[in-house]
Structure 1
Amino acid sequence: MHQLHFSFFPLIAHGHMIPTLDMAKLVVSQGIKATIITTPLNESVFIKAIQRNKHLDLEIDIRLIKFQAVENSLPEGCERLDLVPSPDLIFNFYKATAMMQEPFEQLVEELRPNCLVSDMLFPWTTDSAAKFNIPRLLFHGTSYFALCVAESIRSHKPFKNVSSDSEAFVVPNLPHQIKLSGSELSPFDRMEEETSIFHIFKTVRESVLKSYGIIFNSFYELEPDYVEHYTKVLGRKSWDIGPLSLCNRDIEDKVEIGKKSSIDKHECLKWLDSKTSSSIVYICFGSVAIFTASQMQELAMGLEVSGHDFIWAVRTDNEEWLPEGFEERTKEKGLIIRGWAPQLLILDHQAVGAFITHCGWNSTLEGISAGVPMVTWPLFAEQFFNEKLVTEVLRNGVGVGSVQWQATACEGVKREEIAKAIRRVMVDEAKEFRNRAKEYKEMAKKAVEEGGSSYTGLTALLKDISTYRFTYI
């Protein structure tokens, strides 16, 4: 096993790079060599964590390839998804990622890894891996549940059976009755064959089917029906090895995961320590979502109306839209973090009683692993699917009523609904939610321990790659 070499190539977005780093740390902890491939701007996402782990003899190599931003009409230095200035330029970003193929293959030829773990949105890496006769493993940064829902929608197109986007339909052939509306689907879920974007995503899906298998940042006990559905009904090879975030045990790893935190850890902990158990609402919507001025004000007023203490991580380009006098009025009850927040550190603190989240999978799983009930507020991507998992299958959270897929300028949720959802989780049904959250936390912890389901999944993954290497190389 110690001779194996895993090469990791994540999409250049924080939500993909952070779990990839954790996965690399997990692999090297088993005595296996790991190399992360990224672009020069994103080296900083990995380098400090890599250096911190050297004293544990956990050596992770990092190699860089150029990202051709300017050549694709992107601003210079636009090497990460959250830096793309307009949704109209996402296609340019995608084209720039495809132009990394030649230098990437040159690097693979030099490194000669035993397998390649790459992102779904790098479909060409399946062909690259085949050139060197190594398996391509797909890393899906989401849940089994979300992929099962997406596959059913693509196959059966149930949104065509209703008269409007606001009308609910049942997603067919799933272990639970799951209802969605057209407004909660992305444009990609409903696109027709004549569109150019359709052909891109068709290529992505075809590369998924041709890959050797799929790695999930999840654990069996969390969504057993959907692990079984994905592997046995849909017939896909997979390994569940999460929650990956649980490999971050030191305070420094929890504070500086992804970026350096914009608040001093001692200041943050001092504030948290001053609060009683389960009394704080933590609010964070990831690194991509941008709210309108009116929605920022509705959220602020919903927090104020709820009457609970809070920590709110606010993007620096959103902070000017806070209501006038809000910070002064809530200075004893609230802590506003401008920029990157130490989310793992905050969620793990006993004072946190609820997490208002956009339902990105990393955040959702971090909340589950910390045993914190959720107030769900999905915005785009597969977040509406993850919300259904939290609120209807796990019953570990309450929605604010967000029903419109919107990648930018997020708006439409009123303060009354925000305060109502907070009250349900923090007061009215607090005991039930906290008991369930505690159960999932214990499940997550046991899954990654020796003999647990994710530990076994990792062992099976390494054995599969070892066997592949022995047979074909």
Structure 2
Amino acid sequence: MKKTIVLYPGVGVGHLVPMVEVAKLFLKHGVAVIVALGDPGVESTDFSAAVARAKASNPSVHFHVLPPPPPVPVDSSDSQVASTKHHVTRIFQFLTAMNGPLRDFLRSLPSVDALILDMFCVDAQDVAFELKLPVYYFYASGAAALAIFLNLPSMVAGNSARMKELGDSVITFPGVPPFKASDLPNEVTSDGEALPAIVGMFDRMPRADGILINSFDSLEPRAVRALRDGLCVPGRATPPVYCIGPLVSAGGGGKEHECTTWLDAQPDKSVVFLSFGSMGTFSAKQLVEIAVGLEKSGERFLWVVRSPRSPDFTYGDALPEPDLDALLPEGFLERTKDRGFVVKSWAPQVEVLRHRATGAFVTHCGWNSTLEGVTAGLPLLCWPLYAEQRVNKVQIVEEMVLGVEMRGYNEEVVKAEEVEEKVRWVMASEGGRALRERAAAAKDGAAEALKEGGPSHLAFLQFLHNLDTPTLQQD
């Protein structure tokens, strides 16, 4: 009988997009799959738009939008629900409240063989245990980040202030290069309200039946080995780990964007692409510094510009369309029109990265973007902004040796001189040429991992085999 798997990606564009790729992988192997979604209107307009794009681009994938959870009573004694400010805590609260609708949906199905969760959906493990379903995680970031964060519960060990006390000290974990504690996400290095929820997430994750990772063995060999050897969950068993990536969108399927038409007229490998993800924004001051650096570099560029966030911005709010004339230096667009193209808010990133004219990628180091750059064979100029992106930057620069960092990303602004220098370096220097050669080799490694008989292909087959004999974990 055909298996049925339910995927539950929670909220967030960066978590939905790779989960859709997992759904397509299941379909390719003859497994029925349903992507269950929390009501996208509740938390994020960006997420709602991403859901609409995913449905339109993937007609073979079945999406089911769960009804919203019951409202929290006004007289609730849980004052924290009403007073919480941090968007990460609100996400956890929303997803915990979605347990009821998820439970009802799973019970309504004729059969379900497993539930696969995004890491933020950790409380849905309770639903899986109640219904006696095997439960797995799809970890949408890399093996190195997972190796680090699985250590987090033992690091904190009831003393949340300890993380704040680390400051800029260098810390070490199995499978990853040493790095500064300040490269951890801000939510981890403070003792604010988000930290207990994050610690709880990684404390519960090893109790699942397995973890699927969007990476591949040759990209992160040390981290993968540390995870498989059980070195990242001190004092406890680590569930099976399956590297099944790189899972990235194939792109295409829509109307051709004007920026790709512009790329068609550029020489091969001549354009630097700058894009900073679905949540990446800069101050007006930083946008000016980027513009000045690009202009002085003399190199061709394609730049996605989003409006700066206002002081009262709330997570999930839609940003207005940027006023380029107001945000960029006077005359910039006119002076650079023969070698530059500025896109408002969004560009078809996969198509741009894989275009023959694109030669380098300035990225925020979100894992989806990182893998899209790797599979396109591009060197990465690393400008991390939030979440685990600084950790990813360490891995990209020091372990994979596929990129260099934009100095000053932790300061008020990255200076125009740094933008100019790094763009010129990656496009015109011997060091940049060597980086491009390494990037080309990593692209080949990605293709090798996914082909029939490759390590990621075999890992997914092993996962499907193990679905027949899961060891149901218990809290």
TM-score range, shorter chain: 0.7 to 0.9
Aligned residue type for 1:271 = W
User: Cα distance 1:205–1:423, how it changes in 2: closer, same or farther (>3 A)?
Assistant: same
Q: Give the residue type in structure 1 aligned to 2:67.
A: K
Which residue number in structure 1 is paired with residue 132 of structure 2? 133
| One-letter amino acid of the structure 2 residue matched with residue 106 of structure 1 | D
Pairing of 1:42-81 with structure 2 (within 5 A): 45-46=50-51, 49-50=54-55, 59-67=60-68
- Residue 258 of structure 1 corresponds to none
Is the CA contact 1:8–1:37 (under 8 Å) kept in the aligned structure 2? yes
**d(CA) in 2 for partners of 1:433 and 1:87?**
42
Matched, 1:114 2:113: yes
Give the conservation status (yes or no) of the 8 Å contact 2:164–2:190. Answer: no
Deviation of the 1:334 alpha carbon: 1.2
Which residue of 2 is the match for residue 291 of structure 1?
Answer: 282
Deviation track 1:57-103 (CA, whole Å, cap 9, x = no partner) reads: xx422211134598699xxxxxxxxxxxx964553343222211111
Correspondence for 1:427: 428
Aligned equivalent of 2:402, options 396, 414, 426: 396
Q: Distance in 1 between matches of 2:280 and 2:471?
A: 42
2:182 counterpart of 1:188 = no
**Whole-angstrom CA distance in 1 between matches of 2:367 and 2:70:** 27
- The alignment status of 1:244 with 2:244, answered yes or no, reads no
In structure 2, relative to structure 1, the CA distance for the partners of 1:72 and 1:274 (3 Å cut) is farther
Distance 1:269 1:117, change over 3 A: same
Query: In structure 2, which of residues 248, 251, 266 is the aligned counterpart of residue 275 of structure 1?
Result: 266
The CA distance in 2 between the partners of 1:203 and 1:66, in whole Å, is 26
**Letter matched to residue 355 of structure 2:** H
Q: Tell me, what secondary structure is at the counterpart of 2:355?
A: coil
Question: 2:259 touches 2:347 (CA, 8 Å); kept in 1?
Answer: no
Q: Is the 8 A contact 2:40 2:51 kept in 1?
A: no
- Per-residue deviation, residues 229-286 of structure 1 (Å, max 9, x unmatched): 012123342111111116x2x631xx5xxxxxxxx51633331121111110000000
Task: Look up the SS of the partner of 1:62 in the other structure.
Answer: strand
Q: Contact 1:156/1:172 (CA < 8 Å) preserved in 2?
A: no
Provide the residue aligned with 2:44 in structure 1. Answer: none
SS at match of 1:277: coil
- Rounded Cα–Cα distance in structure 2 between residues aligned with 1:172 and 1:103: 41
Once the two structures are superposed, residues 300-347 of structure 1 have per-residue CA deviations (whole angstroms, 9 ceiling, x without a partner) of 111111111111112254733222222111111111111221111010
CA shift at 1:199, angstroms? 2.9
User: Could you tell me the percent identity over the aligned residues?
Assistant: 30
Selected match of 2:220 from 217, 220, 223: 223
Letter in 2 for 1:190: T
Tell me if the contact between 2:147 and 2:223 (Cα under 8 Å) persists in the aligned partners: yes
8 Å Cα contact 2:403-2:435 kept in structure 1: yes
CA contact (8 A) 2:24 2:61 kept: yes
Paired amino acid for 2:26: V
May I ask how many residue pairs the two structures share in their alignment? Answer: 430
- Code of the aligned partner of 2:117: S
What is the distance in 2 between the residues matched to 1:9 and 1:176?
A: 29
Q: Counterpart of 2:144 in 1: which secondary structure? A: helix
- The answer on whether the counterparts of 1:283 and 1:356 sit within 8 Å (CA) in structure 2 is yes
Aligned to 1:82: none
Aligned counterparts of 2:189 and 2:58: Cα–Cα separation in 1: 44
Q: TM-score, normalised by structure 1?
A: 0.83
Name 2:210's counterpart in structure 1: 213
Q: Secondary structure at the match of 2:462?
A: helix
C-alpha distance in 2, partners of 1:200/1:269? Answer: 42
Measured in 1, the distance between the counterparts of 2:339 and 2:193 equals 50
Counterpart of 1:260 in structure 2 is none
Q: Contact 2:213 / 2:242 at 8 angstroms: preserved in 1?
A: yes
* CA RMSD across the alignment: 2.8
Name the CA distance, whole Å, in 2 between partners of 1:153 and 1:104.
28
Closer, same or farther: CA 149–188 of 1 in aligned 2, 3 Å: same
Q: Distance in 2 between matches of 1:215 and 1:102?
A: 25
- Give the whole-Å Cα distance in 2 for the aligned partners of 1:402 and 1:227: 30
3-state SS of paired residue (1:96): helix
**In the alignment, is residue 348 of structure 1 matched against residue 339 of structure 2?**
no
- Give the counterpart of 2:194 among 194, 197, 201: 197
Q: Secondary structure at the match of 2:419?
A: helix
Change (3 A) 1:173 1:124: closer
| Matched residue type, 1:105 | R
- 2:126 and 2:332 map into 1 onto residues whose CA distance is 54
Q: Which amino acid aligns with 2:427?
A: M
Corresponding residue SS for 2:5: strand
* Separation in structure 1 between the aligned mates of residue 149 and residue 202 of structure 2, nearest angstrom: 11
Kept in 2: contact 1:292–1:411 (CA 8 A) = no
TM-superposed deviation, 1:137? 0.9
Match of 1:438, SS state, is helix
Which whole-Å CA distance do the structure 2 matches of 1:188 and 1:284 have between them? Answer: 24
Q: Report the CA distance between 1:156 and its aligned residue.
A: 5.0
Distance 2:66 2:434 in 1: 50
Instruction: Name the CA shift for 1:90/1:238 in 2 (closer, same or farther; >3 Å).
Output: closer
Specify the alignment match of 2:330 in structure 1: 324
Assess if the C-alpha contact under 8 Å between 1:34 and 1:61 holds in 2.
yes
**Structure 2 residue runs without a partner (length 5+):** 42-46, 75-83, 233-237, 308-319
- Distance, in Å, in 1 between the alignment partners of 2:2 and 2:137 is 21
Distance (Å, rounded) in 2 between the aligned partners of 1:251 and 1:413: 33
- Counterpart in the other structure of 1:170: 170
TM-score (normalised: structure 2) = 0.83
Q: Secondary structure at the match of 1:468?
A: coil
Bigger mean CA offset, 99-108 vs 309-318: 309-318
How many Å separate the matches in 1 of 2:357 and 2:9? 34
Equivalent position of 1:29 in the other structure: 28
> Do the aligned residues in 2 keep the contact of 1:69 with 1:96 (CA within 8 Å)?
no
The residue aligned with 1:259 is none
